[in-house]
Amino acid sequence: MSPAPAPDVDAGGRQRLDPNQQALVARARALGIETVDLSGDWGCDAVRYRKGDREALVFMGQQFPSLTAHGATLCDHKHACKALLADAGLRVPEGVFFFSPDGARAALQALLDRHGRVVVKPVDGMHGDGIRTGIVDMDALVAHWRTIRSCRAGFLAEQQVEGDDLRIQAIGGRLVAACRREPASVVGDGRQTIAALSAARDAVCRAQNPLNRLILDDDSRALLADQGLHPDDVPAAGRAVRLKSLTNISMGGRPVDVTDRLHAAWPSVVETIARVLGLSIFSVDVLTADPGLPPDAGHVIEVNARPEWLHHTFSEGRQHDIAGMILAELLG
Ligand SMILES: Nc1ncnc2c1ncn2[C@@H]1O[C@H](COP(=O)(O)OP(=O)(O)O)[C@@H](O)[C@H]1O
Ligand SMILES: [Mg+2]
């Protein structure tokens, strides 16, 4: 499948349509579906899709008419969302919601004592922003909270669970694709520096989705130091070098398709999530040792009510016509 088209840029140099929306428009045109780009008139990323007497207004290529305020509010609050999923019998990491560590010190300390290692994140974050894994004591928890304390919706400290990142896509409340997300990495060739290798990988990421970036940041430098490396070092040929602690594709993570390897119970778990949260088109983030294990072997981390889906169109191993499936769901 071809990579996402380059972004439209308006007179002010701003990108007009999100790459997910651009891919949806391109697929609609290929299918003979009428598209009306309202972004110029409205000043927001909105496209109307029309087929016969049916039409659907889509924002950012990720927000569809079926999304209710109820569903969006639930998914935008990771703690509330997980509470509902736990009530429905799904396995989620134990978490403590807090505004300031002082207000929840006993519960946070108990979480640290029980699990040893916790993750702290904004309760309404996305794209991995503000997430710190590997927090082992109250001092580190408070130090990280100070760096993200301006997030007004509050914070979540969560049991750190192990496993690979599994991203499941649902359309019409049904599982359609899944990939394992691997953190950004490069493989040495014995000639180029880590900085040069990651710049080359960054170019690939941008070609797949112009909003994705592989940038060597503090997290990367800390990980490199753990591996005894510096961005200017030249890794030996064949040596794999990890560059991010998180697997978000927007930070250069790699999607590897695992749809055909998923345990047979996952589709019904996805249908339960759709029913409990009242969602149709969404994605689920899971941590599991292996996608072939029963869902109970892993933990559901979050549900995205406005899912980015483009990575399933360039995932390694197998690609999916997500845009075509979304258009069929919206317009029949
Ligand atoms: N409880 C946890 N245990 C281990 N890793 C976690 C946990 N929560 C988040 N992570 C890691 O951080 C990533 C981003 O977390 P997530 O809650 O999905 O936030 P975002 O909305 O920014 O994607 C996850 O995909 C996972 O790799
Ligand atoms: Mg996520």
- Give the pLDDT confidence of 289-321 residue by residue, as tens digits: 999 999 999 999 999 999 999 999 999 999 999
46 within a domain of the structure (yes/no): no
- Give the pLDDT confidence of 224-267 residue by residue, as tens digits: 999 999 999 999 999 999 999 989 899 999 999 999 999 999 99
325 within a domain of the structure (yes/no): no
305 within a domain of the structure (yes/no): no
Q: Which atom of ligand 1 is nearest to the CA of 158?
A: 1
Whether residue 149 is found in the same domain as residue 189: no
Whether residue 153 is found in the same domain as residue 102: yes
Q: List the residue whose alpha carbon is closest to atom 12 of ligand 1.
A: 246
113 within a domain of the structure (yes/no): yes
- Give the pLDDT confidence of 91-148 residue by residue, as tens digits: 999 999 999 999 999 999 999 999 999 999 999 998 888 999 999 999 999 999 999 9
118 within a domain of the structure (yes/no): yes
Whether residue 112 is found in the same domain as residue 150: yes
295 within a domain of the structure (yes/no): no
User: Is 247 near ligand 1, meaning CB less than 6 Å away?
Assistant: yes
**Boundary-marking domain end, from 160, 177, 193:** 160
Q: Which two tokens stand for residue 261?
A: 């390897």
Whether pTM > 0.85 for this model: the answer is: yes
Count of domains forming the chain:
2
197 within a domain of the structure (yes/no): yes
Q: How many angstroms is it from 68 CA to the middle of ligand 2? A: 20
Whether residue 155 is found in the same domain as residue 194: no
- Which CATH number goes with the domain that contains 112? 3.30.1490.20
Whether residue 154 is found in the same domain as residue 191: no
State the residue range of the domain holding 156: 94-160
79 within a domain of the structure (yes/no): no
Range list of β-strands (E), 249-321 = 254-257, 282-288, 299-304
Ligand closest to CA 246: 1
**Is the per-residue pLDDT at 7 higher than 90?**
no
Q: Is the sign of the CA dihedral 107, 105, 163, 248 positive or negative?
A: positive
Q: Is the sign of the CA dihedral 36, 9, 246, 72 positive or negative?
A: negative
Whether residue 154 is found in the same domain as residue 100: yes
Closest CA to 284 of 131, 151, 181, 158: 181
